Structure formats: structure tokens, C-alpha cells
Amino acid sequence: MTTARQPQNRPLRSLGFVHIAPFDRDSPRQGLEDAIELFRYAEELGLDSGWLRTRHLQHGVSSSPVLFGAISQHTERIKLGHAVIPVGNENPFRLAEDLATADVLSGGRLQPGLSVHPPSFTDDVNDIVFDRGWRSEDYGYSRIELLRELIAGRSVRDVPAYNGIGGDFDSDRAEPHSEGLADRLWYGGGSLRSAEWAGRAGLNWLVSNISTTADGDTDFSRVQRGQIDAFRAHHPQGEAAHVTVARVAVPTDHATTAQLNRYRDYVQRRTPRTHGIRGKNTLIAVDNLGSRDEIVEAIRADVAYQAAEDYLFELPFEFEIADWKHILHEIATSIGPALGWTPGSAAASASAAHGDDQEQAA
């Protein structure tokens, strides 16, 4: 196992975004259709990936594999990631079927991000969400290990002999099978323990703007960098192990007056939660609000970012599709190139930029 550290700044390999796909409680279709449009637009801009959060008992997408099945029919190139699916809410066998179905439909573009934690609702709600047997379930890392085995094609039974009823369609594994999907699993973590386990398991490592500290250190980037280093130290591929870092960034360049007011109010309301340790040991990163140069400077100073090859921008939940499109446009045409990134399709990016200029001038 290789543990020697590479130079401090790694070349930025890919750029993407994370979205919750919020919707109106009484009219959810528009929000889901907006999500499809946002992914289509991101691909047009040349962004490399788009990731969906999975939310339960909230007004955000609860079945990201299903939505990705739809998004896959409106896009061709952009990678489709889950950030993340809480596997405790899932039956690993059924989730393996859903992920493989979405991956087949997308042509092998799925990047499943996963996490585990025990049920966190009240007991009466847990009885409904997880069924009454939830108290005896294993909600540890073994749940993800089983999921990976099922995605990889693990045989779960001997196929019975065809008896002439219903057609000869029986299989011994979860279907459909999507070759290579089991090698594209990510663990979305925020603790040193998870980082070390994900490394030993040979998964990819995905971190966001929420983390935990084990020793009282309140420097978010330093704590997260320690987790990244621990992940690679325990990973069979060492320094070559894949890491993606996500942060909230709200660019102000080319924003309308209304957008600027909304953006500033959003960050101002959220900033107090980034001061010190929240609860027992939770740290939250500061949102990056500002011009391209200010955001790029903040990113380059982030020691966790310096250790990653891929970067994701987390889109604010409370905004609207025009705001999200503005943010993605600034990321793809200004911030990303300033960080040394090249769009997946430079011609498409230029075309999208020209179209947006015309829109703003109208």
C-alpha cells in the first residue's frame, strides 16, 4: 500500500453539482421536471457530473434512481451521482435492482453515493418507515458490502428447472446486471472512522460541507483533509484512490439585483451555524459567496480541496431554477476555467453562454 503524499494541489479532473430537486408539496411534478431541465442544461454547459440528494419525509426527491432513469433519457454524457442514498432506508436487493436499471438506461453513467446510519426518527415513525422489525436490523457498513455484492452479480439461489409455466426467465442474481457498476460506488462520509472503513473497502470517497471532529479541532478544512488522508492511507490504491469534495458556492457575478439580495440573505442566515462545533461533534463549512476571484481564492486555500481531483458545487435548496442556472453558468464558464478545468464540450459551453447573453439582453 502506498502512503507517500503527492504534491499539495492535484489537477482538477471534473466539475459538477449537487441538487436536492425540491418541489411543491401539492404540485410535485414541476419540481421534478425542473430537475430534468437543470441536468440537461448542465450537460449543455459541459459540466462533468450532476448529483441528486436523496431525502425522505421532505419535499425533495426521495427516489433518486427513478428520477435518474428519467434524466438519462434527456442527457447523453453527464455522469449521474447520488449524494447520497441512505442505505438504511433501503432493502439492498431492491436497491441493487433500481440502481442497475437506471445505470443500464443511462449507458453506464451512474455514480451511486451511499451512506449508513441507524434510524433517526421517533420510534412510532420508525415503525412505519422501516417496519416493526427495524430494531433488530443491522444498519452498519455490512449493508453496503451486501449491496455491492448484489450489484456485482452475486448468485443468491439455484435456478429451478423450467416447468413450462410463465416462460424461462428465472435468474440466480439481481436483474438487470450492469457491468462495472459495482466499481463505481462512493461512500459519502464525514468521520475518520468512515474514511478508514471506506478506504479498506476500496470504495470512492465523497465529502460535503458537513463533517465531524474527533479531537475538538474546529478548522473544517483541516479536519476534512485529515479524513481524506486517512482514506487514502487505508485504500489499496493509496494516493490514486478517488476523492470528491463538495462545497456551497454562490457566485455574484452577472446576478440580478433580486438574485444578489436573495443570495446574500441566504448566506447571512446560514453563517452562524458555521461557528464552532454543533451538537456533539459536527462542523459545517462556510458558504462561499462572492465574485469569481473570491470563490476561486477560497477554493484554492481549502486544504481538503487541494487533495481532491473532483469538485462539486452544492446548490442552495431554497432557490429557483433561474438561480440554479445562473450558478451553473458561472461555474462552467468562469469559475471552473479559472481553476484549470476544461468543459466536457467547449463548443456546447460557448453556445450556452451565447444563448444566456441573449436571454439576459431580452
- Pair 78, 52: CB distance under 8 Å: no
Q: Any idea what DSSP says for residue 240?
A: G
Question: What torsion, rounded to 10 degrees, do the Cα atoms 143, 228, 43, 292 define?
Answer: 150
Q: Where are the domains of the chain?
A: 14-155+173-361
Which backbone phi and psi does 285 adopt, to 5 degrees?
-75, 150
Neighbours of 145 (CB within 10 A): 13
Q: Tell me phi and psi for residue 194, to 5 degrees.
A: -65, -40
Chain Cα centroid distance, residue 27: 25
Q: Quote the CATH superfamily of domain 14-155+173-361.
A: Luciferase-like domain (3.20.20.30)
pLDDT tens string, the chain, 362 residues long: the values are 334 444 457 889 999 999 999 999 999 999 999 999 999 999 999 999 999 999 999 999 999 999 999 999 999 999 999 999 999 999 999 999 999 999 999 999 999 999 999 998 999 999 999 998 999 999 999 999 999 999 999 999 998 887 777 667 889 999 999 999 999 999 999 999 999 999 999 999 999 999 999 889 999 999 999 999 999 999 999 999 999 999 999 999 999 999 999 999 999 999 999 999 999 999 999 999 999 999 999 999 999 999 999 999 999 999 999 999 999 999 999 999 999 999 986 434 444 454 455 444 44
Backbone angles phi and psi of 6, in degrees to 5: -85, 175
Give the burial string for 82-99 (b: 16+ CB within 10 Å, else e). bbbbbbbebebeebbbbb
What confidence score (pLDDT) does residue 93 get?
A: 98
By C-alpha distance, which of 87, 112, 245, 242 is closest to 185? 112
